[in-house]
Amino acid sequence: MRRVSILGATGSIGQNTIDLIRRDMDNFEVVALTGGRNVALLAKSAIELGAKHAAIAEDALYQDLKNALAGSGISVSAGKLAIAQAAAMPVDWVMSSIVGAAGLEPGLIAMSNGANLALANKESMVAAGGLMKATAAENNVMILPVDSEHSAIFQALTGQSKSAVERVIITASGGPFRNWSNSELATVTPEQAMVHPNWSMGTRITIDSASMFNKGLEVLETKEFFEIEASQIEVLIHPQSIVHALVGFHDGNLLAHVGPPDMRHAIGFALYYPDRKPLPLNRLDLTKIGQLDFSEPDQNRFPALKLAYDVLELGGVAGAVYNASKEVALDAFIARHIRFLDMAEVVDRTLHRLFGTACELSTEQSLDNIIHADHMGRTIGQEEISALSA
Ligand code: NAD
Ligand code: MG
């Protein structure tokens, strides 16, 4: 019996996790589920899984959640603190699938209370990789990657000597605008960016995939997870999204991880780790795929990727600034205050202003420093958004 909680249970990763647990209820005891705003889905999921507790992030939704779960015996709470308290409930395994920097503290709290952390929330690793790993080590728990590329690398590295790794290649579909010119990219609307050619995911990561910010975040996540140099991390455009990552060793051998674009493979791997359980998911039929293509990403058309490598050079809390300024730029793009290409411009300008000459941000990755860097990234990012939208 494994006791589990899901943070961000109403999202795409959360619901895919629930889909796997629902098929194997005898082996899981579900403790807490959290959601942002979707009361109906949170309540439905909590009842279905027989959860002990449900927490919703929005204070004002407390009564709605209480009503939805009346008579179920499931306790309820609401607000930011309620999410933290739900994360602290003792369990063996927590899925960290809140989107954005909001997922950082709940993940840290879960590990501090002894849970192994299945990490979909890549922003935690980008903003605070050092702190995440230190917290895991102090509490003797694991961080299991759920991002498909990182799950792929993790699996390819199992049983291998880390010192023999020469390079890691992560793939990117290239998104819906892979072949668009700069002048075409200037016209992209939020609706166009919300459609991914291969993966079905939350709105924000889908737009990040279209701008390649998602791949930028994943380059930083790769560095933190696998502790390799920037020069060892490569990105390849691979429109079919079948090969998720490859690991190359000093002897020239290259191991690829191959699978259909269905997050339940990576989630299932983390859910049952270190065992492998039979999962009722579609098997890959390579004859139906026929062909696999690879090419170099164009960093001129997709500057988000180049910026990520700049952030790798800067180190310290630069990842927190990159992510925070990207989050406000993404909000501004969704609200139509800035254009698609302006998102990278906002992040570029924010990084320059905060790290250009005399940097006043401490490089030490304490939680306070990371929260401060995140705050500064949002504040300066917002100023640059105002300048661009004026
Ligand atoms: P989503 O938008 O579908 O779901 C996000 C979840 O977080 C929802 O439950 C939402 O209610 C909750 N949430 C949002 N803001 C919150 C807040 N301030 N406080 C508490 N809860 C909040 O997103 P998703 O696609 O499931 O992605 C979740 C995370 O997993 C992201 O970090 C994303 O980058 C990562 N990820 C997703 C996929 C995918 O296929 N969807 C793949 C790899 C990595
Ligand atoms: Mg990914």
Mean pLDDT, rounded, for 300-321: 96
Nearest CA to ligand 1 atom 9: 8
Instruction: Say whether pLDDT at 358 is over 80.
Output: no
Query: What's the pTM value of the predicted model, to 2 decimals?
Result: 0.97
CA-102 nearest atom, ligand 1 = 18
Ligand in nearest proximity to the CA of 264: 1
Taking the CB of residue 373, how many other CB atoms lie within 10 A of it? Answer: 26
Q: How confident is the model at residue 249 (pLDDT cuts 50, 70, 90)?
A: very high
Instruction: Say whether pLDDT at 390 is over 90.
Output: no
CA-122 nearest atom, ligand 1 = 32
Phi first, then psi: give them for residue 210, nearest 5 degrees. Answer: -65, -35
Query: Is 175 buried (19+), middle (13-18) or exposed (0-12) by CB count in 10 A?
Result: buried
Neighbours of ion ligand 2 (CB under 5 A): 147-149
Phi first, then psi: give them for residue 118, nearest 5 degrees. Answer: -85, 115
Q: For 140-194, what is each residue's pLDDT tens digit?
A: 999 999 999 999 999 999 999 999 999 999 999 999 999 999 999 999 999 999 9
CA-123 nearest atom, ligand 1 = 32
CB 39 within 8 A of CB 60: no
Phi first, then psi: give them for residue 227, nearest 5 degrees. Answer: 50, 55
CB 121 within 8 A of CB 87: no
Across the chain, mean pLDDT equals: 96
Ligand in nearest proximity to the CA of 218: 2
Burial 16-39 (b: 16+ CB within 10 A, else e): bbbebbeeeeeebebbbbbbbebb
How much distance in Å is there from the Cα of 13 to the middle of ligand 2? Answer: 12
pLDDT of residue 359: 79
Q: Of the residues 10, 12, 326, which should be mutated to test ligand 1's pocket, given the most ligand atoms within 8 Å of the CB?
A: 12
Q: Which amino acid is at 246?
A: L
Pocket of ligand 1 (CB under 6 A): 8-14, 35-37, 57, 83, 97-99, 102, 120-123, 147, 199, 201-202, 204-205, 263
Nearest CA to ligand 1 atom 25: 202
pLDDT of residue 356: 87
What is the Cα–Cα distance from 34 to 115, expressed in whole angstroms?
A: 16
Q: Per the structure block, which two tokens stand in for 381?
A: 């990012």
Q: For 195-243, what is each residue's pLDDT tens digit?
A: 988 888 999 999 999 999 999 999 999 999 999 999 999 999 999 999 9
pLDDT of residue 361: 83
Residue 297: asked if its preceding bond is cis (omega within 30°), the reply is no
What is the Cα–Cα distance from 68 to 40, expressed in whole angstroms?
A: 7
Beta strands in 57-131 (DSSP E): 75-78, 93-96, 116-119
How much distance in Å is there from the Cα of 146 to the middle of ligand 2? Answer: 8
β-pair type (243-249, 75-78)? unpaired
β-pair type (254-258, 243-249)? antiparallel
Beta strands in 254-379 (DSSP E): 254-258
Mean pLDDT, rounded, for 13-36: 98
Taking the CB of residue 325, how many other CB atoms lie within 10 A of it? Answer: 30
Nearest CA to ligand 1 atom 11: 36
What is the Cα–Cα distance from 70 to 118, expressed in whole angstroms?
A: 31
What is the Cα–Cα distance from 128 to 289, expressed in whole angstroms?
A: 38
Q: Per the structure block, which two tokens stand in for 300?
A: 């001129």
Ligand in nearest proximity to the CA of 245: 2
pLDDT of residue 70: 98
**Which residue(s) pair with 7 in the sheet?**
34, 96
pLDDT of residue 357: 80
pLDDT of residue 271: 98
Instruction: Say whether pLDDT at 330 is over 90.
Output: yes
Beta strands in the chain (DSSP E): 2-7, 28-35, 53-56, 75-78, 93-96, 116-119, 143-145, 165-172, 233-237, 243-249, 254-258
pLDDT of residue 40: 98
What is the Cα–Cα distance from 92 to 115, expressed in whole angstroms?
A: 5
Phi first, then psi: give them for residue 139, nearest 5 degrees. Answer: -100, 5
Residue with tokens 């990040």: 208
Q: Per the structure block, which two tokens stand in for 185?
A: 């990219």
Percent residues over pLDDT 70 in the chain: 100
Mean pLDDT, rounded, for 67-94: 98
Instruction: Say whether pLDDT at 29 is over 90.
Output: yes
Phi first, then psi: give them for residue 122, nearest 5 degrees. Answer: -60, -25
Residue with tokens 């998102």: 343
Instruction: Say whether pLDDT at 363 is over 90.
Output: no
How much distance in Å is there from the Cα of 149 to the middle of ligand 2? Answer: 5
Mean pLDDT, rounded, for 52-59: 98
Instruction: Say whether pLDDT at 110 is over 90.
Output: yes
Mean pLDDT, rounded, for 311-325: 97
